[in-house]
Amino acid sequence: MNKIRLGNSDLDVTKIGYGCMLISGDWNSDQITEQTQKDADNLIDICLDNGINFFDHADIYCKGKSEIVFSEALKKHKGKRQNIYIQSKCGIKLGPPFTSYDFSYQHITTSAENSLKRLGTDYLDVFLLHRPDPLVEPEEVAKAFDALHAAGKVRWFGVSNHTPGQIELLSKYIQHPIVTNQVEMNITHTHLLDAGIMYNQNNPRLARNTDLIEYCRYHNITLQAWSPLARGYLSGRTSDVPASNISAASKLVAQFATQKNVSREAVILAWILRHPAKIQVIPGITNISRLKACCEADSIVLSRDEWYQLFIAGRGEPLP
């Protein structure tokens, strides 16, 4: 599988990573069952067999169970730890009584320590700040990053769902480069692309960050696309379709898949991979056949016309 360099790091990661959010099955506090572990083992096996070397976690995923399940699955592959890259995130504090965000020194370091224990590893290759904390004190973030890096517990750092201004503020204080920014992006969630082309237009799409993609390209920050498969709406999910543009985009995806003799999942991911920003996609599906289908995206390239057709269909309106 083709690889890209993750930002300014020394990590050569596969263009297709794997999102481990749901590998433990659910978000309740029940014990992990034998079947759940077996299913997770199969998913990780498929990833490794297809060359995927990058696995994305967060401390909150299924209340920590996903990291535990992944750790157990990895025990079958002793000696491979140095050949795979593990990423986790922190900063979201789930309720009850309410959900909030916390980028304090104590929360960041404690979250990292707990993730390391659950994952059964001595270090994280990448550690991200999850959703932006309005009360962030960048000096505390810098202190936490320094401590984790000096202790050999985190190699590289990144963010998720952050704006250029929020990254700039952090970068003023931290000594370590931000190597990635994980954001939602897919054919029907095109806000980051719309922002650039709708500049100076009388359109509500303008109320977005106009330069996040360009900012990350300029500063060599790799964008990671979460929810790249649009929650299955473009590849067969028919229930609760939220908007008419999804139907049009879904038909076009199916058309291109038939023409290229690949899966619909491959076309959907290839649309993101076609962008010159070298965006890494992080699908988090737990269906074995769909996971295998995703891996086909690495072998096809959409033409400029095909890319724009999907872009326009996903937007649900013509370009200005």
Give catalytic residues, as residue numbers: 61
Both tokens of residue 259?
Answer: 């023409």
Measured at the CA of 150, the angle between CA 147 and CA 155, to 5 degrees, comes to 100
Q: Coil, helix or strand for 119?
A: helix
Cβ burial, residue 167 (10 Å; 0-12/13-18/19+): buried
CA dist., res. 280 & res. 274, Å (int): 11
CA dist., res. 120 & res. 130, Å (int): 21
Closest CA to 84 of 110, 118, 119: 119
Pairing of strands 124-129, 85-90: parallel
